[in-house]
Structure 1
Amino acid sequence: MALLNDAVHNLSDVPALGISYLAMRWAERPADSEKTYGYHRAGTLAAFTNAFVLVLLSLWLGYEAFQRFRAPVAVVESWMMWTSVAALAVNGGITLALVRGRGDLNLRSILVHNFGDALSNIAIIAGALIIHATGDSWIDPLLGLAIGLLVLWSSIGILRESSHILLEGRPLDLRVEDVARAILTVEGVQEVHDVHLWSLGGGHHALSLHARIPDMHLDGCERLLVSIQRVAAKEFGVEHTTVQLERAGLPSKSGYGTCEKIAFTPAIENSIRVVR
């Protein structure tokens, strides 16, 4: 059972690697009139697809292991051991080759996948030795269940992170309030609100915000815009920054009264207002 589970898991590597490779090539395409931000999320979509398939696979592996607990079958230890040794060499090599690309979600999904395969191979080798020494056949479905749980655990994290990006969640390493406070350090910016920060995938981020400034000439506005974009890029790695400038001193009925502290809008967490 453990060997069957591992074989099915390894078989799933073929389409997973194919999807990830196509996504990597697709993500390299430049932005066009249809995809104005580019194709960065192709890798995120591939990671989500691979993780979703692995969740379904892990549930099937768990079901098959449970069935073997109810109806044990004879196990050929030598087949378990030598097949797993060969698979360990392949999965270990792929894992080492992908370590450098672990910052990319798409590549990390394949890295986690193959690392799980390698751990499964080690567990099967150990299980084969124990079965050979003790003759306990229940170890086989137990290993199969453990492999299914390992696949499920490794997939859920990738599924959660990729869905967060696809739903335009903020980059997990950035905080909206930190970005707003950094923009306030730009000379001339009096208030920042309606700050929206999201990930495009592949380590590319985008930012949009409203900034209130004193009345000034157009050339002064342009210099201030450049300064805001420079702060966003240098301190937070944001590549796309969109700023709407608003003139300070608007009447109170406009709804832009100042606040003494950061105020979160209940419905939209990242719609905030920060003043000096």
Structure 2
Amino acid sequence: MRTHSHPPGHPHDDAHVGHGHSHGHGTDARRLGIALGITATFMVVEVIGGLVSGSLALLSDAGHMASDVAALALSLFAVRLARRPATPERTYGFHRVEILAAFVNAAALLLLTLWILWEAYTRLAEPSEVQGGVTLAVAVAGLVANLVSAAVLHGGQRDSLNVRGAFLHVLGDLLGSVGAIVASLLVLGTGWTVADAAVSALIGLLILRSAWALLLDSLNVLLEGAPRGLDVRAVRTTLGGVPGVRGVHDLHVWAITAGQPVLTAHVEVAGGADSAEVLVRARQVLRERHGLRHVTLQPGAEGQPCEQREDLHT
């Protein structure tokens, strides 16, 4: 028989977490919607400016903005889908969709960066004429737009990999605008048209590093790895040190999405100890020391095989 217990005065942790994330999703959706509108508008401006001026820096930044429009739209869709309640078939809800969006955005950034680097290489081999004045005007307008979008998304990127993916796209655009400004000033001041391609290559390398980090973070969640920054060995030591606990087995820690770590474990309870009290104490300690709120512990008498133990959800 499987029993689930929640001590008096302690509401189910999942309800609290779900409410907080619902509020966070609403804020994230507003941020993403504003950034999407700004980015889509200036993407068109940069495409026209890049074609008129012949600037690779502007065209590469416009291409990056085009990927941003898709990335922001995907992120916004993922946030809205993640709001949907859990179902009998998807008991954790749709939060993992945000991680999928982050993974896709990271992969798109990597592909876009490779394209920018290839175009920069061909331009370095065969420099082409660049109209510095047009490039400068469009790049400055793009910089203002990207600064606004980055400011809007910055507050949400620390807690959501999905928003972080969108933020990195916009940050890449911001760097692209800065690079286009530098390149246009060099072209206007020195006539050195190679500067346009050289700056584009440098921007590509900067984007590559951030995109790779995002890809690894999202992949870690998808593969149900331990949340970054959480020491599983320390968690095991903490759980094993709770009075009444004689052993910890089958300990697993992963994340449903960024900011929602989950722990499950088999706990050997010492003979004569009250299992319910021991697990309530364990739950409190795990929350206080490691920030773990969604915890499922399966207790059993000391020496009892794991498969014979009853479940107790704390």
**TM-score where L is the length of structure 1:** 0.86
Q: Residue 24 of structure 1 aligns with which residue?
A: 79
Please list the CA deviations of residues 243-274 of structure 1 after superposition, one character each: whole Å capped at 9, or x if unmatched. 12232146xxx79xxxxxxxxxxxxxxxxxxx
Other structure's SS at 2:245 match: coil
> 5+ unaligned residues in a row in structure 2: which ranges?
1-55, 307-314
Q: Residue 276 of structure 2 aligns with which residue?
A: 222
Q: Residue 232 of structure 2 aligns with which residue?
A: 176
User: Structure 1's 229 and 30: CA in aligned 2 closer, same or farther, altered over 3 A?
Assistant: farther
Structure 1 segment 1-276 matched on structure 2, within 5 A:
1-103=56-158, 104-216=160-272, 220-249=274-303
Amino acid across the alignment from 1:75: V
CA shift for structure 1 position 216: 4.0
In structure 1, C-alpha distance between the alignment counterparts of 2:77 and 2:282, rounded to whole Å? 36
Q: CA RMSD in A?
A: 1.7
In structure 2, C-alpha distance between the alignment counterparts of 1:240 and 1:165, rounded to whole Å? 16
Please list the CA deviations of residues 126-174 of structure 1 after superposition, one character each: whole Å capped at 9, or x if unmatched. 2111111111111111122122222222211100100011000001111
More helix by share: 2
Amino acid across the alignment from 1:90: A
Amino acid across the alignment from 2:169: H
Amino acid across the alignment from 2:234: D
Other structure's SS at 2:91 match: coil
Contact 1:3–1:80, Cα closer than 8 Å, also in 2: yes
Which has the larger displacement, 128-137 or 141-150? 141-150
Other structure's SS at 1:197 match: strand
In structure 2, C-alpha distance between the alignment counterparts of 1:8 and 1:224, rounded to whole Å? 57
In structure 2, C-alpha distance between the alignment counterparts of 1:93 and 1:86, rounded to whole Å? 11
Amino acid across the alignment from 1:54: L
Contact 1:113–1:154, Cα closer than 8 Å, also in 2: no
Please list the CA deviations of residues 161-201 of structure 1 after superposition, one character each: whole Å capped at 9, or x if unmatched. 00011000001111111111211232211111221111111
**TM-score where L is the length of structure 2:** 0.76
Which has the larger displacement, 233-242 or 1-10? 233-242
Contact 2:64–2:172, Cα closer than 8 Å, also in 1: no
Contact 1:40–1:204, Cα closer than 8 Å, also in 2: no
Other structure's SS at 1:238 match: coil
In structure 2, C-alpha distance between the alignment counterparts of 1:68 and 1:249, rounded to whole Å? 71
Contact 1:206–1:238, Cα closer than 8 Å, also in 2: yes
Please list the CA deviations of residues 74-94 of structure 1 after superposition, one character each: whole Å capped at 9, or x if unmatched. 000011101111111111001
Contact 1:2–1:147, Cα closer than 8 Å, also in 2: no
Which has the larger displacement, 164-173 or 142-151? 142-151
Amino acid across the alignment from 2:59: L
Report the count of equivalent residues: 250
Q: Residue 269 of structure 1 aligns with which residue?
A: none
Q: Residue 264 of structure 1 aligns with which residue?
A: none
Other structure's SS at 2:293 match: strand
Which has the larger displacement, 147-156 or 85-94? 147-156
In structure 2, C-alpha distance between the alignment counterparts of 1:153 and 1:183, rounded to whole Å? 37
CA shift for structure 1 position 67: 1.2
Quick one: percent identity of the two aligned structures? Answer: 37
CA shift for structure 1 position 58: 0.8
Structure 1 runs of 4+ with >4 Å offset: none
CA shift for structure 1 position 60: 1.0
